[in-house]
Structure 1
Amino acid sequence: MTAFTRRSIVAASAVAAAGLAPLPAAAQQANGAASVSLEEALRRRRSTRRFGTAEIPQEQLLRLLWAANGVNRKEGGGRTAPAWRGSKDIDIYVAREAGVHRYDPVAGTLEQVRGEDIRDKVSQTAYIQRAPAVLIYVSDRKRLVEAAGAESAGNEQALAIGAHVNAALISQNVYLFAAAEGLGTVLIGGSADRDATKAALSLGEGHSVVYIQPVGAPR
């Protein structure tokens, strides 16, 4: 039988009353992220650069991705992370030994896009290649331009800042979920091989790799 905390039951009732999308059921378990206060997650939040190789269970990975940028409001498809001018330009790809999947925030599922392991292309850094999952944040320029409006659509600096801010906001959600569930993570910019990653994912001209974020059990 699934165990629920009193806090999670109250929270679920409030969510339903407000017309919000409910938390994944597993996230309400007593030993899941819902049993840790936001203050405690903030106290535990830190960057980790030493990972074990054990795979992250699929159910836990999906909850992590929901926390990162999943749909939390039915009306309008609102997300768990805000986005510059509501652009929702960031797609999350997950590179693992078994291949690469793209997260569908509406369906809450992973869609396979590559059958091979590309972690050695994402970065030349050993601990990143060793992490069981590497999140890849990809920005869709078309969505940014559509959200920017006439006054900012041609401002490349504003568009670039928007993409980086949006990815960083998502990454903080990942940090907090990882802290709550005993996982390790770190946001990576400089040691990410963006060109090789873009080629490995066969991304189009209007897509760019913004950041990567390895996740796994710390060691």
Structure 2
Amino acid sequence: MPGFASAEAVRPISLPPPRTEGGVSLRAALQKRRSIREFSDRPLPLALLSDLLWAAYGINRPESGDRTAPCWRHQVVIDIYVALPDGAWLYAPKEHELQPHVAGDLRAATGMQDFVGQAPLNLVYVAQGDQMGKIAEEERRLWANVDTGFIAQNVYLLAAAEGLATVFRASVPRQQLAASLKLSGEQFITAAQTVGYPRS
């Protein structure tokens, strides 16, 4: 991944087409699925990052724009921010690309455990509260968390299939991270997930 000094100075990164065939069976991935908290600092190849993001919440039905994970009331309200060593990027499923968002290494800021800063990738799940209609704040958070769980499980299964380590994390410094990501007042962080190669 190229480093960048400012989000304005960098173009989006087009991801290679995801592999949608082959690989291990669903049953094999379920057998291997587990949480792992020890990571190598080895970077993920761009092709594997492409597969991972598509599996998480990519578009699997281009004619309708529907995703690989279900969503509340058929409304897409979750965004995935991708924290890499060179900055935070926003995954754009329609274009299947990474759009520059914030410069600087925010990986350590995505959690409270030491490993988050060493792993090559942290996914931050952010809900667009203003797109959820006039429902109570408690309901917004409930349904946003449900949608996040679907996405995170897809990440778990792809990680298991590819021999990657991952762990879903609810312990996130939400206010500080929201400020670092320059989120609006209507956006809120639901959770984060660390991904990388397991430490041998």
Fold shared, TM-score > 0.5 on shorter chain: yes
- 2:115 is the counterpart of 1:115: no
Deviation, structure 1 residue 140: 0.2
Query: What are the superposed Cα offsets for residues 106-163 of structure 1, whole Å, 9 maximum, x if unpaired?
Result: 1111111122001222223101111110000000012222xxxxxxx23222211100
Alpha-carbon distance change, 142 to 41 in structure 1, aligned in 2, over 3 angstroms = same
- 2:161 is the counterpart of 1:180: yes
Deviation, structure 1 residue 25: 5.3
What CA distance in whole angstroms lies between the structure 2 residues aligned with 1:96 and 1:25? 19
Deviation, structure 1 residue 87: 1.8
Equivalent residues of 1:122, 1:196 under 8 A apart:
no
Deviation, structure 1 residue 178: 0.2
Q: CA RMSD in A?
A: 1.4
Task: Give ranges in structure 1 of 5+ residues lacking alignment.
Answer: 1-22, 29-33, 146-152
Alpha-carbon distance change, 158 to 25 in structure 1, aligned in 2, over 3 angstroms = closer
Task: Report the count of equivalent residues.
Answer: 184
Query: What are the superposed Cα offsets for residues 79-126 of structure 1, whole Å, 9 maximum, x if unpaired?
Result: 000011112101001111111111001111111112200122222310
Q: Which has the higher strand share?
A: 2
What CA distance in whole angstroms lies between the structure 2 residues aligned with 1:113 and 1:161? 27
Q: State the SS of the aligned residue for 1:91.
A: strand
Equivalent residues of 1:96, 1:119 under 8 A apart:
yes
What CA distance in whole angstroms lies between the structure 2 residues aligned with 1:187 and 1:122? 12
Higher relative contact order (CA 8 A, sep 6+): 2
What CA distance in whole angstroms lies between the structure 2 residues aligned with 1:72 and 1:184? 24
TM-score of the superposition, structure 1-length normalised? 0.81
What are the equivalent positions in structure 2 for 1:136-155 lying under 5 Å apart? Answer: 136-145=124-133, 153-155=134-136
What CA distance in whole angstroms lies between the structure 2 residues aligned with 1:25 and 1:60? 8
Aligned-partner residue type, residue 148 of structure 2: A
Q: Which of the numbers 171, 179, 191 marks the counterpart of 1:211? A: 191
Larger Rg: 1
Query: Paired residue for 2:7?
Result: none
Q: Which of the numbers 77, 88, 95 marks the counterpart of 1:100? A: 88
Q: State the SS of the aligned residue for 2:95.
A: coil
What are the equivalent positions in structure 2 for 1:1-150 lying under 5 Å apart? Answer: 24=17, 26-28=19-21, 34-145=22-133
What CA distance in whole angstroms lies between the structure 2 residues aligned with 1:60 and 1:24? 10
Equivalent residues of 2:59, 2:66 under 8 A apart:
yes
What CA distance in whole angstroms lies between the structure 2 residues aligned with 1:218 and 1:198? 28
Task: Give ranges in structure 2 of 5+ residues lacking alignment.
Answer: 1-15
Aligned-partner residue type, residue 178 of structure 1: A
Moved >3 Å (runs of 4+): 23-28
Equivalent residues of 2:55, 2:68 under 8 A apart:
yes
